Structure 1
């Protein structure tokens, strides 16, 4: 099959590029099948036949991914005509398999010839009609949709083809796309941005290298995170306790002053750093306010910054090895 069709150069991973890669696989298998005697080399012939029948994946990708998007563009011809062509070839495979397995040697070569002729005719129709028109009709975003669905079906190739996306890099701060969620929302809560389960929230807070304590607007401790290496020990007994009883007497006055200013709205942050057990500890308090600026409590955050303070220069490479 030596016909050449004028199709523009396409990037690696483009669905049509993959179809052309598969064409090389198909024609190679067909040529090998034609060189093998189905009678004297029955097992070899049967192996090639099985590999060639993987063309079914090609059919499924067209029927389930390419044809539906072409229908959206009001081109129904492939769905009506080429799908019927696929079914004809499927039936040829089914009948030929039955004859191979029952050793009906007198008709295997003839039926093989019919099958090969149908496959070549299909490849020619793809290249002369289907692919040129599909490329003309579909946008880059359409092809991205096609390729995304194809990954669930698979290809005739020995290795997964290159990825394909024409989307330009968009900084996360400027990405406002609403995407189809790939995870279940069962047992999750919706936060400002995103969804998490209680377990995920607990894991997040336990993993953060920070000590966090939340004191509500009534000066009661309502939460602290239970990390593996807390700077200052905590126990469940402080939940519901007034914050002034959760600090040493010498620092209570400072804590109450912070709360007073936060409640009045005159301040929003207070910071300290101390030496504790030969480590440098950074302690910060943040006022928590709702959208109407009403005071909702304070977050106390403590962090061991000893190693952070010693950082100099840059490290852009992973140093695991």
Structure 2
């Protein structure tokens, strides 16, 4: 006898705790049918393997006792904790005794005792499906089920494949993810930027790692920053910090630099780009006006990048080629 799922009319998403119990119920019924059909004296190893697989029902018992029952107790339904837990313990005793007889190859006694275990499990499943699960679905909230599912991870399941996450974690493109999460890292010694927090060390590491040369000139035309990349296109030294930008370029290009600064300051332009051949490499040089929220001029960023290899890219590359 295998029971039907009396809660089947309630459609639940994959990964929901009750849906996992349903999947296990199908598995258990299949194992019980296999066990009933086998003669342990003729197929001892197969019988023992099925018995061991069925014995993983212990995980189901533990999830109910340590996850489902406590949530039901919070809703003042203590019956399952008192009655069904005792039923679990009776089945545990039957498993233990039957195991000894299988291992002792006492096949006559195995054939006598196994039906009691099978019948006990079937009765338990019937009570779950007709009483426990329908009432649990009515009593517990979505928040309860989500919290319960997290706790089940540590106990595990009978299923050979890990159940899907619950609730299902759909992919959300970063541009559309507006969830405000609790920070999983310390903000001590960090600064808050438009989005996120970083320490001075992290900012320095970020700027050093970027494959770009960046120089920041403030609204007074003084160099206030440059990044120390591993392979800079144009050499820089600490001596340029505080220096007027016009003294940081070759005389032949100063006029162009000053023109850029003037137009940026007036607000007539916001970006200027150049590309040159330098030591056999193609270098892309860009200037960007920096403005605050009120559109006030706050300086200019000069960015240089070796784009030789980038320019040679063709087609697509979608696979990792490290191996």
Aligned residues: 310
Residues 21-75 of structure 1 deviation map (CA, whole Å, 9 limit, x = unaligned): 2112111112222233344543322222211121122233334443444445454
What residue number does 2:61 align with? 59
Partner of 1:287: 290
* CA gap 1:94/1:304 in 2 versus in 1, 3 angstroms: same
Q: CA RMSD in A?
A: 4.5
1:158 aligned counterpart, secondary structure: coil
**Rounded Cα–Cα distance in structure 2 between residues aligned with 1:239 and 1:113:** 89
After superposition, the Cα gap between the structure-2 partners of 1:40 and 1:87, relative to the gap in structure 1 and judged at 3 Å, is: same
8 A contact 1:269–1:287 mirrored in 2? no
| 1:124 equivalent among 116, 123, 126 | 126
Q: Is the 8 A contact 2:3 2:122 kept in 1?
A: no
TM-aligned CA deviation for residue 105 of structure 1: 5.5
SS of residue in 2 equivalent to 1:159: coil
Counterpart-to-counterpart distance in 2, 1:151 and 1:110? 37
Q: Which residue in 2 is equivalent to 1:16?
A: 18
Contact 2:210 2:229 in 1 (8 A): no
- Relative distance call for 1:174 and 1:41 in structure 2 (3 A) is closer
Distance 1:220 1:272, change over 3 A: closer
CA contact (8 A) 2:65 2:81 kept: yes
Alpha-carbon distance between aligned partners in 2 of 1:208 and 1:53, rounded to the nearest angstrom: 56
Is 1:213 equivalent to 2:211 in the alignment? no
Seen in structure 2, the aligned counterparts of structure 1 residues 320 and 271 have a Cα distance that, compared at 3 Å, is same
CA-CA distance at 1:276 after TM superposition: 0.9
1:124/1:179 CA distance change after superposition, 3 Å: farther
- Spell out the pairing of 1:234-313 with structure 2 (5 A cutoff): 234-235=235-236, 237=238, 240=241, 242=243, 244=245, 245-252=247-254, 270-277=270-277, 279=282, 281-287=284-290, 299-303=301-305
Distance 1:220 1:206, change over 3 A: closer
Question: Is contact 2:273–2:284 with CA below 8 Å preserved after alignment?
Answer: yes
| Larger deviation, residues 250-259 vs 76-85 | 250-259
Unaligned runs of 5+ in 2: none
Q: Deviations over 1:103-126 (max 9, x none)?
A: 565644444333323322221121
CA contact (8 A) 1:11 1:17 kept: yes
CA contact (8 A) 2:191 2:199 kept: no
Aligned-partner Cα distance in 1 for 2:71–2:190: 35
User: Residue 136 of structure 1 corresponds to which residue in structure 2?
Assistant: 138
TM-score, normalised with respect to structure 2 = 0.70
Q: CA deviation at 1:167?
A: 7.5
Residues 272 and 139 of structure 1, relative CA distance in 2, 3 Å threshold: same
Alignment correspondent of 1:320: 318
Q: 1:51 to 1:215 in 2, by over 3 A?
A: farther
Matched residue SS, 2:87: helix
SS of 1:275 mapped into structure 2:
strand
- CA distance in 2 between partners of 1:35 and 1:110 (Å): 14
| Separation (CA, whole Å) in 2 of partners of 1:204 and 1:250 | 33
2:163 aligns with 161
Runs of at least 5 residues in structure 1 that lack an aligned partner in the other structure: none
Q: Is the partner of 1:9 in helix, strand or coil? A: coil
1:18 deviates by: 2.3
